[in-house]
Amino acid sequence: MSDIEACIERAREALHEQNAKEALRILKPFKKSLKTTNGSNVLLLQTFANAYLEDGQLEKAYPLLSRACEADVEGTQGGSEKFFTLGQVAGGQFGINILLQGVENVSREAGDNLNQEQIGKIVSGLLSMVEIWMTDLCMEETAEAQSEELVSKAMEISDGVSPEVWSTLGSIRISQQRYKEAVDAFIQSWTFFEMRKQEIEKSLNDADGSTYEDYVQLLQPLLTLAKMCIEMGLYDISLKIVSAIKDIDEDNLEAYYLEGFTYYMISKMEMFKNTNPTANVTAENIFEFNQHFKEVPLSLNNESISEVVHEARLALSFASKIGGNCDATDEVIYELLMGTKELLEELGGPLNDKELMKARKGEAEDDNDNAEFDLDNIGDED
């Protein structure tokens, strides 16, 4: 193994351990050579690009990804993953073309016998194209038709059991104002996500193939699905999804926020029904309720919502605690903390530490865990 190959291998190991800065330190001796002798070294270009991406330096990663794709058009040297990454980053018609190249490369490599990994890559590429058509290219005349065609291909290739495909289909149906179909799609998505989660958990317990990384990769799509379910009034399913997320990451700030927000919306819906007993909120008119829910006053002394309000305050209080150990300069974290604060103000404020400790210990007893808890350290990565 040459020095450069050993360097790339070590950098990949650092990236696998989520240590992008260490990967960049390992690669640094070869940085200048990217402009000279190693300007077409696909593996070095890819590894540098991946390290920059993991370190949040998109502007440095982009040109390296482009060069890697140009130097390895068929993906025979460094695989096709770079095409999917570059396509998502680039967006627009160029992104569509790059993603399509990646899909074609995987299909060519597979021939007539696609394995599960190859199916996953193709489906991911197709759904990334759908996302571009629904965002960057949404004003194009063919955007809807292209999205329909791509999601249909993804559904066919995945034999109708991909939770990501069902989730994307639900988003398309919302954009088409076909709300009942959107609800059905999100329900299907959760069904298959739950099955996948259980399969990964069994595999991890049996030490049979799956990795913890496979488990963690469920987080982002589950968070996205939870938000869509809240939007469509699928509050029970949203709470199930949030519970699944906390199984994977017990101190996930966004999960606690979404749990609190879901209970908050349930309380708003209950108050709305109390004052409008003849109203029938359905998938077809839930958006009208969503536009005006802030106008629905909460009566905190109303017994019909007292338990739900308490659950909302509990989840949001934990979110506030977790947020105290997060980087508040991060835009997403800042928005979650501001949203948490606003909701708690309307709900009667956060619960005190004694109540939070009691709730935390109650969860531990359910899990047969007698560990002591330090609320101030909830959310600490160490």
90 Cβ contact partners less than 8 Å away, ≥ 6 residues apart? 62, 98
Number of domains comprising the chain: 2
Distances (CA, A) of 275 to 268, 269, 278, 297, 343: 11, 10, 9, 10, 22
In a domain, 361, yes or no: yes
Q: Which of 45, 71, 97 is the last residue of a domain?
A: 71
In a domain, 102, yes or no: no
Using CA atoms, how far apart are residues 306 and 302, in angstroms rounded to an integer?
6
In a domain, 272, yes or no: yes
- The parent domain of residue 280 ranges over 263-382
Residue 377: what pLDDT?
A: 64
Residue 207: what pLDDT?
A: 81
Q: Which of 50, 71, 92 is the last residue of a domain?
A: 71
Q: Any idea what the CATH number is for the domain that residue 63 is in?
A: 1.25.40
In a domain, 277, yes or no: yes
For tokens 């990994």, what's the residue? 117
Residue 242: what pLDDT?
A: 98
What is the pTM (predicted TM-score) of this model? Answer: 0.89
Residue 209: what pLDDT?
A: 73
- The rounded average pLDDT for each run of 10 residues, N- to C-terminus, in the chain (382 residues) is 90 92 95 91 95 94 96 93 96 97 95 91 97 97 97 97 98 96 98 96 85 90 98 97 97 97 97 92 91 92 94 97 88 95 96 90 62 59 46
For tokens 């001796």, what's the residue? 29
Using CA atoms, how far apart are residues 217 and 355, in angstroms rounded to an integer?
32
Distance linking the first and last C-alpha atoms of the chain: 36
In a domain, 247, yes or no: no
Q: Which of 41, 71, 101 is the last residue of a domain?
A: 71
Residue 382: what pLDDT?
A: 44
In a domain, 123, yes or no: no
In a domain, 368, yes or no: yes
In a domain, 173, yes or no: no
